[in-house]
Chains A and B, each alone.
Chain A
Amino acid sequence: MGAGLIHLGIAAGSAPVLLALFAGIGALEVLWSVVALSRPAPAPAASLAGAVLLVVAQLAVLLSGSHDHEAAEPSAAGVAVPLGTILGALLLDLALAALLALRLRRGSPTGVVAAIPFLLGTAAGAGAVALITATSLAGSSLGGQHLH
């Protein structure tokens, strides 16, 4: 969900062609996260493939030099994303890929989780995701950075 929100934030400041791409990816990620919260992760193998694809694509953007530490200038490909913003999305997608890989390797957990451990885990995860997401969004066009 955090990565989806960041991608939507990136879309808001992107060129028209990339706007559709980032908005599509972001919307898909948010939708997937809502479904995954209400039931066991849907299609884990396909989801893992999608997460890995996103990680690779974002790494390629980072390594291509088409970013800046502040408000980025657009590259030849038109990708203009501040470093911190795309790093946040990359980190969250990487964590998702790792969790999905673990799930595929070990299988779905069985049994009922007690209330307090569930809540502590949820709070820790939500705090980390919210911190990364808000910091990343603050560096995007939504946070007042003017991308071209």
Chain B
Amino acid sequence: MQINQINPGTAFHRSPNRIIATLFGAVYLLVGLLGFFWTNGVPFAGPGDGSNAILGIFEVNPLHNVVHLLIGVALVIAGTGTAASAKAANSTVGAAYLLLGVVGFFLTAPDGGRNAINFLSLNTADHVLHLASALVLLATGLGADKGATRAREQPEPAGATTV
């Protein structure tokens, strides 16, 4: 009789990485979709005039919305997978957001953000949100589910008998 010693993986409610990846992914998907209601007449990859802010707070343009959708999809897929995949996705997206949080200031400095270099149509509220997202994702990705590795969370092979 074959004995299955493979760890079935971390349950969703016990894995901070799976919870945060799914939650953030869903929020970014929602924001990516809602954003298109505020980008009428805004250049695809350029700054708006200030009226293109979701709820009057977070400025977006169509490219910014597409990026939100892609990040949302990636996080939801990772979050509904294993803790290891969620951990990797959170760390990667967190690092990217940290970089954007800093680089964003360089993009918005010329002409108060109305220069063409501001290709994501960022504003200060976006910087706060990006930095906060980066810190949450990095802290969770690097600090939680430390035992989760791909090798330990492989799905159960067909035909294996659990004892």
What residues on A are CB-neighbors of B157 within 8 Å?
A: none
Q: Does B54 sit within 8 A of A, measured CB to CB?
A: no
CB–CB B102/A123 < 8 A = no
Q: How large is the interface on A (under 10, 10 to 19, 20 to 34, 35 or more residues)?
A: 20 to 34
Residue of B whose beta carbon sits closest to that of A33: B138
Nearest chain A CB to B39's CB is how many angstroms away? 23
Query: What's the dominant secondary structure at chain B's contact region?
Result: helix
Q: Which of B108, B132, B143 contacts A130 (CB 8 A)?
A: B132
Is A37 a contact of B143 with CB atoms below 8 Å? yes
Q: Contacting chain A: which of B15-23, B29-37, B40-48?
A: B15-23
Which A residues contact B (CB, under 8 angstroms)?
1-2, 5, 8-9, 34, 37-38, 115-116, 118-119, 122-123, 125-127, 129-131, 133-135, 137-138, 142-144
A130–B108 Cα gap in the complex (Å)? 17
The bracket for how many chain B residues form the interface is: 20 to 34
From A34, A125, A134, A143, B142 is in contact (CB under 8 Å) with A34
Q: Would you call A142 and B105 a contact (CB within 8 A)?
A: yes
Inter-chain contact A38/B142, CB cutoff 8 Å:
yes
Given the interface pairs A130-B128, A130-B131, A134-B127, the reply to whether A9 lies near B105 with Cβ below 8 Å is yes
Most buried by B among A5, A129, A134, A137: A134
